[in-house]
Structure 1
Amino acid sequence: MSPERGHVFLARRAYFQRRLMDAARLLPVLGAGMFVLPLLWKSGEGARTVVVMFYIFLSWSALIGLGWIVSRRLSGPETADPAGAKGDADEQVGVSREG
């Protein structure tokens, strides 16, 4: 049996920031999937060029908007780690920082 460990605690702000970083990493994959999707459309002789170009433009605009939102949330002051945040988290868990 393993020795009993303390409670695992991850501050809400740090958890949210990590999920945003995951979302930022997945945006290129989402974009590739969105840009390849028109190749799968089959309607008689194929999808019309105007519809495909409109879809690609909207997808491109959506990716820019999502990237902007994620980058603003990651670089905003609410995600900045204040000097005492580590100590505050340790105190909430009950970990002693003393020798």
Structure 2
Amino acid sequence: MIASSLKPAFRPTFIFIEVFGCEGGIQSYIQDVLSAYGELASVPTDVFLLRDSLANLSKPWMQGPFRFHCFKSERPMLSRVRLTLALANHLILNRPSHVFCG
């Protein structure tokens, strides 16, 4: 009983290059994984997307447990820097239990 109360909460963070901006097998697979996780999740989960924007997300994705952080810009290097800084800040302040990259 005591051991189960000491387990840390499962708080994952997802990081992807691009999920919603283009069609493809990997993008479809990631959407399926996120969809399955969304059906099971009860706490907000952060998803960092390098080459996607909020305009690419459909309404069902915005209503789920996910907090999307999108970094698409006209200058790829600026997108990378912004993602790196935001992710570092998130990892330091929120300390997720798992980080899934794709």
| TM-score calculated relative to the size of structure 1 | 0.31
Give the strand-richer structure, 1 or 2: 2
Compare CA radii of gyration and give the structure with the larger one.
Answer: 1
Give the helix-richer structure, 1 or 2: 1
| TM-score calculated relative to the size of structure 2 | 0.30
